[in-house]
Structure formats: C-alpha cells, structure tokens
Amino acid sequence: MIPVMEFRQFSEQQTAFRVLKPWWDVFTDYLSVMMLMIGVFGCTLQVMHDKIICLPQRISLPSDNSSEVGLKSPLHLQSNTSTVPTGLKTNLDLQQYSFINQMCYENALHWYAKYFPYLVLMHTLVFMVCSNFWFKFPGSSSKIEHFISMLGKCFDSPWTTRALSEVSGENPEEQDHKKGTASRSNIPMSPGEGSLEKTQSLRSIAEKIVVDQPSASVLDKKEGEQAKALFEKVKKFRLHVEEGDILYLMYVCQTVFKVFKFLVIIAYNSALVNNVNNTVRCNGIEEIQNMTGYKVFECNHTMAHLFSKLSCCYLFLVSVYGLTSLYTSYWLFYRSLKEYSFEYVRQETGISDIPDVKNDFAFMLHMIDQYDPLYSKRFAVFLSEVSENKLKQLSLNHEWTAEKLRQRLQTNSNNKLELQLFMFSGLPDTVFELTELQSLKLELINNVTIPASISQLQDLQELSLYQCSLKLHTTATSFLKENLKVLRVKFDDNRELPNWMYGLRNLEELYLTGSLSSDASKNIVLESLREMKCLKILSLKSSLTKIPQSIVDVSSHLQQLYLHNDGTKLVMLNNLKKMTNLIELELVRCDLERIPHAVFSLTSLQKLDLKENNLRSIEEIVSFQHLRKLTCLKLWYNSIMYIPEHIKKLGSLEHLYFSHNKIEILPSHLFLCNKLRYLDLSNNDIRFIPPEIGVLQSLQYLSVSCNKIENLPDELFFCKKLKTLKLGKNSLSKLSPKISYLALLTYLELKGNHFEFLPQELAFCRALKRSGLIVEETLFETLPSDVRDQMKAE
C-alpha cells in the first residue's frame, strides 16, 4: 500500500510560505488532498483486490430436456440426464479462469473503468504541482524567499513597533496591552489593527499633533544596526523586484492552466462515468475460445459500484476546485495587481511618504493582504524615508551626546564659538543642547532637518552649509529670520540652495558658492534678495556672465560685494553703477581685459580687487582719481606690462598690489602715492628700484621678491616705518649697512640672493629676531656672535 505521507511534500509548503497563500489557495490545497486520497484509495483497491470475475455464459437446452439448465460442452456432449446436478460443471481449472479474467479485463472492460483511480491520482498531482510551482521555480523562488525573510524580520523588528506607536500616538503601555491580547502568531500588535476605522486613525493623528508623547526608550545598538540593515535590504530588494513581473505572470499562467484542466476533467468524466458498470459481457476473443472452448462470458466488475461513487465524489471536488480557480481568475484580472497603494497605511499611521510600488513587489503585497493586512502595514515602515531618517536620528543622538559634541567646539576666524560636523549621517538633536554655540558648520550631510529646538540656541548667529540638503521646521525658520547674521552655502545643485534663505530679513552676510546663472534656463537662478534689508556683505563664487538683477535689490545697503568666477568672462557690469554704497568690490577670475568703467561710478569705494583676470593695460587707472576714498587697489595675478604715470593721481592709496605680473620698470611717479603703507611688487621682472622710493615715509610693508634686482637704493632705508621687507630670490650681492635705519623691522627676507656676508649693523634692528630673518644658515653665521645671540633671544 502506498502511504499518503509520501505525498505530503506536494500538499504542504514550508511554513514560512503560508503568508503568500490566500484563502483560495489553502482551500484548493485541502481539496487536492481529498482528491489525492480518492486516487490513492482507488489505486490501492485496484491492486489489492480482484479486478473482474468471469463465468462462461449459459446455453439453453432443447425443449425435451428443458428441465436441465446445465451447459453443454461442444467437445464433450453429455447425454446422461438421469441424475440431477448439484452444480454446473464447466471443465475449466483455476488457471483457465485466471486467464479468462485477465483477458476480459484487458479487452472487454472500458478503459475509463480500468484507469479511473490512476487518472484521479495523476490529475491531482498535476494540480498540486501547478499550485506550488512558483514557489520552486528558480526565477521566482529566490525572490519569494528573500521577500519572506525580510517580511518576517520587518514584522518582528522592535523598530517597527516603535515607529507605528509614535506616529499613531500610542504609548508603550498600550502596546504592552495589545501584545498580551494578541493571537498566538507572535504579532506584537492586535491583528485587527489593520482594519481600524479611518476616523479613529485621523483622531489619533490629531492627538499626536496636539499632545507631546513621552519619548520611547532608545533602541540598543544591535537592534538599531539590524533595523538600518533592513532598510538597505528593502531598498535594494524593491529596486530589483520592481523591474519585472515574473511572479505575477507565473501565478496567472498556473491559474489559467488549472481552469482549463478543470474544464477538460469535467467534460470527459461526465461523458465516461456511465461506462463504469457492474456487469461486463466478454465475447469475440479468439484466444479464450481456443483455450477454453467457450466464446461468451458474463463478467462482474467487483469495483464498479465503489468506483462510480468515488467518481461522483471526485467530480464534485473537481467542480468546487474549478469554481475556486474561476474566482481566482476573476480576482487576478478584475483588480490591478501590478500596482499597490499604501494609501490606507498612510492614513492610518500618519507616515505620509510611504511610496506606492508596482510589478512583482505589488503583487506579493496583494497576496500578503489576503493573509493578513497587518504584514503590509508593518512592512511599509521600512519603505518610508521618514521612518529611516528617524531611526538614523535616534542612533545618531545615542552616539553623539551633548558632552561629546561640546568637546568639538572651536573658535573660528570671526572669534565665534563654532561646531563643525563633517560627513555625519544626520544632525544630532543633542546639538541644540549646546546653548553657548554661536556658529554651526555642516559639511557633506544629507537630509538635514532643523527642528524647532534650534530656538534654544539664543547665541547662534552664523550658519554654514557646505553641500547639505536642508529642511526647516516652521518655528526654526522664524528663529533664523530673527537671529541669523551670517549664512554660508556651498551647493552643487538647486536642491542644496535653500529657498528659506531669501526670507532672512536680519541677515548681514551671505556667502554663496556653486553653479549660479543669470539665465533662468540654466543651472540655478538667484532669486530676489529684497527681503534682506540688513544685508551688507554678499559673496558669490560661481560662473556668472553678468551681474544678477537680484543683487540690485540690495544695492541701497550693500557695502561689500565679492564676485569670484571660475574663469567665465563677466561681460555685463552695468548694474554695478547702481551700487553707490559699495565700500569693497572683488572681481576675481572674471576674464576682464580692461578695468570696468562701471567701477569709476562707485564714489564710496575703498577697496578694489581685480585678482586673476586678463589685464594687460591699466590706462583707465586715471579715472580712479574720482574715487577719493579708494585706499586699497589689488591688480595682482594679471598680465600687466607697465604702470602708467597716472598712478600718481591716486593720492589716497594705502595698499597697492602689483605682484605676479610682467612689470619690468617701476616709474618714479608710483612713489608720489606718498600714503602707501603696503606695496607688493613681487613676482615680476623688475631690475631696478628708483631712489624716489624714499618718499614713502609711511611704508610699512614692501615686497620685491622673485624679481631681477641687483642693487638697492640707499633711499630705501629712509622708509623708517618698514616692518616687513622681502628681498628674496633676486640678484643682490650686498646689503647696505644703512639697514640699521630700519629700527622697526620685524621681518626680513634675504634668501635666494648672492650675499657673501651680512652687515653687523643688523644689530640695530632691535625688533628683528631670528625667526623673522629668512636667510641661509651659512649666511647667518657670518654675523658676529653677539648679534646672533641677540636675534636668537626671544
């Protein structure tokens, strides 16, 4: 006998896969087991019992011997009728009867009556294989196994329970109560939670907004790491599974196949079931007649009655199976199973950013809903970026305590107490416990959200955002509008350029570094700054071709403007004329070939920097005489060949930068700018310094390093206020003893010349120490020992 347990693997899947079996698949599995039992039972009877029993058919006697009912053998006719027989003798032995039974079974019995149990068994096994084939097929089983594995972990994760309890306004006590009353499926929440009424859900969300819930305990490190790993797995799995629909197609195909098979089974079984009869007439078999002498036999099919009953039961079960398959087909084609919406989850949990999914991912979620919608609800937590960010935030807060952050505080260049956070996974909430913080610098941090608790930082005045995407709470926006004075933003695309910055009405300094454009069709356009009533300093490091119109909005109070291009030619500068209150202007790397005429209208200008342009001629410098407040002029890092004599008209200049040009001759008119305190002529081709340099009695800084100077005029040493003198990398061979006149000298660079010795008069430069004397060590040793000791003494 074939034990039913041998077929168990076909009728039962792994326990984990039960979540992907809707009620109709479970029901059809039970129907298959019942049909399988019918088939196995029929096959067992077929094997264990005689299939058919046959006897020779009786032949009627002549009328005079009609009282005899015995059969006459054609070969041995009996004439003796004097005795009454006690039985009918056929002269057939047991082997002949067995032969007759077998031959009649094979030739006279209808094939349906012979093979009915085997047909039932075969069809049932096909049904079972078809129902579970998508769990075993390599292309689909891997997806299902990964999905089931992640589903179980997401369902049991402590983070899922916490996230749902927080957004629904539930406290831990309520969760414990639900856990105690849950079913034995180890679900930590009530199974009916997925079917809560919409009004109850909305009410709980409203209560969550009004009432501050106590914060839950921090997840331990292991649970937090496991939850983070789940988020990453779910992301990758979603990207992979949403690409195809093989699971959906396989399920559709197997359902259609079952419906087709059901119709075929019903059709031929209904037509052939009447062929299962108790009596079977067996005749016309020549082999039997030759072996036994009999031609016609009456046979009894011993299993016919039982098989007819089994066939009726089988047809009934198949009909129910087929109707269930038809319902499955209706469900498959009536609903859009390749799209899944989490709308009800979003409404019930309050997590509004849970995305809808498609293809195989959507199909599996639809199947899960037929098992228990709570699975989808808890799984959806790991599709939400808000939930993921909240988990990261909790882990971040646990890792970076307030005391640990306080140890990172430093004083920046503006003498502000600054906290710099570089490449963090987020912004720790503990930052807002540092009430003494004055400057916050965030660099390479994605998805930063500034909460309302920033209002605790009453001393915060500076905020630096370097390639950070940032969002603000409404309260945080109001706080920054009132308190923020300095904002620095470095961005790569418009997502990192905050729109809320345009409303910072008390902002005084704004520094922007990124790909800005004055054309709305390209890159990022700087919007109106008219709300920034207090803006005094504006710095733009970008690739502009003209002055943005938005800068004109603040022209009435803007005092310092810094435009640093990346070498892009700045061609339209007419808007500069409207900035009459500018005190400082920098146009760096703007590919300027001439000094812009618009600059000459800036009568309040005190500092002008035209660094790293393409200036060759500066004849326009004569127009600077109208800028009577101009005290600093930087024309360094250009291609200037000579200095025009009009330079003498800039009598108010105090700082003049001509370094890194191609100047060969210094005009004597240069030194008529007798207010010069800082003069940088380094990195040129100068060979001679005019004696008129002695006129510069206010000169404190002079750099002529990296030139071709061979001699220094004695008049140079009449500039007795010199504190810094750079003469390095020239062709000097002698330093005049008059160096002693420079009693205030603190820095002297001589390295890279042809000196053989240093004058001992350096001893009279009392402020010059060894650290301020840049010279070869061998040359320093030529000084008298007492002079060396004097310089080494700090």
Domain 2-57+91-144+246-362 has CATH 1.20.1440.80: yes
Residue by residue, DSSP assigns 158-193 as HHHHHHHHHHTT--HHHHHHHHHHS-TT--SS-GGG
- Neighbour tally for 521: CB within 10 Å: 6
Q: In a 10 Å sphere around its CB, with 0-12 CB exposed, 13-18 middle and 19+ buried, how is residue 8 labelled?
A: exposed
Return the number of other C-beta atoms located less than 10 Å from residue 140's C-beta: 20
pLDDT tens digits along 524-545: 567 778 888 889 999 999 888 8
Distances (CA, A) of 196 to 168, 184, 201, 498, 649: 12, 20, 7, 39, 85
pLDDT value at position 363? 84
Whole-Å CA distances, 58 to 87, 90, 534: 13, 10, 126
3-class DSSP state of 351: coil
441 phi, psi to nearest 5 deg: -120, 120
Q: CA 780, CA 217: separation in Å to the nearest integer?
A: 69
Q: What is the pLDDT of residue 511?
A: 93
Chain centroid to CA 93: 87
Instruction: Judge contact between 592 and 571, C-beta under 8 A.
Output: no
Strands 339-340 and 357-358: antiparallel
Spatial CB neighbours of 231, under 8 Å, sequence gap ≥ 6? 382, 388, 391
For 732, residues 6+ apart whose C-beta sits below 8 A from its C-beta are 709, 710, 711, 712, 750, 753, 754, 755
Q: Which residues, in sequence order, are CB contacts of 577 under 8 Å at separation 6+?
A: 598, 601, 602
Residue 58's pLDDT is: 61
Q: What is the mean pLDDT of each run of 10 residues along the chain (794 residues)?
A: 51 63 85 88 75 69 40 40 52 73 76 80 86 77 78 76 60 40 39 35 33 44 74 80 82 88 85 76 74 75 78 88 89 84 79 81 83 80 76 81 90 90 87 92 85 90 89 88 92 74 89 72 63 90 84 85 90 84 93 90 93 91 87 94 90 94 93 94 95 94 96 93 95 93 95 93 92 94 91 82
| Tens digit of each residue's pLDDT (9 = 90 or more) over 7-52 | 455 444 456 677 788 888 888 888 888 988 988 888 887 777 667 7
CA 205 from centroid of its chain's CA atoms: 27
Q: Which of 551, 654, 540, 628 is nearest to 588 (CA)?
A: 540
CA dist 607 and 654 (Å) reads 10
CATH 3.30.1490.20 at 626-793, yes or no:
no
3-state secondary structure 489-545: EECCCHHHCCHHHHHCCCCCEEEEECCEECCCCCCEECCCCCCCCCCCEEEEEECCC
> Residue 403: in which H helix or E strand, if any?
helix 402-406
pLDDT value of position 77: 38
Q: What is the pLDDT of residue 657?
A: 96
- Written as six digits, the tokens of 443 are 């660099």
Give residues with Cβ within 8 angstroms of 706, minimum separation 6.
Answer: 682, 683, 684, 728, 729, 730
* Best CA proximity match to 609, nearest among 625, 594, 588: 588
Task: List 609's β-bridge partners, or say none.
Answer: 586, 634
Arch. (CATH architecture) of 401-506: Alpha-Beta Horseshoe (3.80)
**What are the Cα distances from residue 61, in Å, to 58, 73, 77, 102, 298?**
10, 12, 12, 29, 19
Q: How far is 50 from 255, CA to CA, in rounded Å?
A: 39
Token output for 136: 């075993």
- The CA distance from 427 to 44, in Å, is 73
What is the 3-class SS of 105-137, one letter each residue?
A: HHHCCCHHHHHHHHHHHHHHHHHHHHHHHHHHC
Tokens read off for 338:
């390749």
State whether CATH 3.40.390.10 applies to domain 524-613.
no
Identical fold at 2-57+91-144+246-362 and 524-613? no
Distance, in Å, from the CA atom of 568 to the CA atom of 549, rounded to the nearest integer, reads 18
Helices (H) and strands (E) in the chain, counts: 21, 26
Residues near 411 by Cβ (< 8 Å), separated by ≥ 6?
A: 417, 418
The number of angstroms, rounded, from the C-alpha of 768 to the middle of its chain's C-alpha atoms is 60
In the chain, the amino acid numbered 219 is: L
Q: How far apart are CA 755 and CA 577, in angstroms?
A: 52
Closest CA to 372 of 163, 238, 193, 199: 193
State both tokens at 435: 């009430």
Predicted pLDDT at 195? 36
Give me the pLDDT at residue 570, please.
Answer: 87
Integer CA distances (angstroms), 570 to 31, 341, 614, 630, in order: 82, 52, 12, 23
Look at residue 636 in the predicted model and tell me its pLDDT.
94
pLDDT of 496: 65
Pairing verdict, β 279-283 and 296-301? antiparallel
* Distance from chain centroid for Cα 3: 53
What pLDDT is recorded for position 560?
A: 93
User: Strand, coil or helix: what is 757?
Assistant: coil
What CA–CA distance (Å, rounded) separates 689 from 702? 12
Q: Supply the pLDDT for residue 87.
A: 53
**Measured between alpha carbons, how far is 542 from 610 in angstroms, rounded to an integer?**
16
H or E element: which one contains 420?
strand 417-422
Instruction: Report pLDDT for 679.
Output: 96
Parse the chain into domains and list their residue ranges: 2-57+91-144+246-362, 401-506, 524-613, 626-793
Half-sphere exposure of 11 (CA within 13 A, CB side): 18
Task: For strands 701-703 and 678-680, give the pairing.
Answer: parallel
Residue 702 in 3-state DSSP? strand
Instruction: Give the three-state DSSP class for 298.
Output: strand
Whole-number Å distance between alpha carbons of 514 and 491: 5
Residue with tokens 């129910």: 320
Identify which of 578, 623, 573 has the alpha carbon closest to the alpha carbon of residue 593: 573
For helices 138-156 and 111-136, give the axis angle rounded to 10 degrees. 60
How many beta carbons lie within 10 A of that of residue 19, not counting itself?
19
